[in-house]
Amino acid sequence: MAKPNIHQPTQKEKGGIRRNDFLLLLLILVLAGVWLVFSHFRSAPGLIAQVAVDGQVIETLPLDQDGEFDIPGIDGGNNHLIVKDGQIWCSQATCPDHLCMKQGKKSMANETIVCLPNRMSVTVLEGR
């Protein structure tokens, strides 16, 4: 009498979650948790914006006072900054790519706006 051929299904054939799938899911969940904790404790409303050109601080702007400021950059470049409602942003720039204008409004501590061609940077800080 011949023995019947008994096939044991593999994990893949069972359709269940495999070990590597489980590890990937676990890694994603851990990274998401770390990101949530970091973002919760990281940001506080900024009180001032520190403007630097070529690494030298040239202006400190309080974010609670609305205003518009022209910041001279390197080689005749210029950035126009606007402070309004506790936010700061670059509305005009003489740089060719205008990436500084596309960085949006900043209001939280440690956020930055950078214009590499004009070597201008804005950093939002908590202190006065």
* Domain range list for the chain: 11-42, 48-125
Length of the chain: 128
Q: Which pLDDT score is estimated for 43?
A: 61
- In angstroms, the CA 3 to CA 106 distance is 75
The token duo for 121 is 């940077």
The token duo for 33 is 């948790």
The token duo for 24 is 């990937």
| Class of 48-125 in CATH | mainly beta
Task: Return the SS3 of 9.
Answer: coil
CA distances from 97 to 32, 81, 105, 114, 118 (A): 33, 17, 18, 12, 11
Q: Which pLDDT score is estimated for 6?
A: 73
Q: Specify the pTM.
A: 0.66
CA distances from 21 to 29, 33, 34, 64 (A): 12, 18, 20, 50
**Residue 46 identity (one-letter amino acid):** G
Q: Which pLDDT score is estimated for 36?
A: 82
User: What tens-digit pLDDT sequence spans the chain (128 residues)?
Assistant: 666 677 676 656 666 677 888 899 999 999 999 988 877 666 667 799 999 999 999 999 999 999 999 999 998 999 999 999 999 999 999 999 999 999 999 998 889 999 999 999 999 998 76
- In angstroms, the CA 23 to CA 44 distance is 34
Chain center to CA of 84? 21
> 60-81 b/e with 16+ CB inside 10 Å = b?
ebebeeeeeeebebeeebebeb
Q: Which pLDDT score is estimated for 70?
A: 97
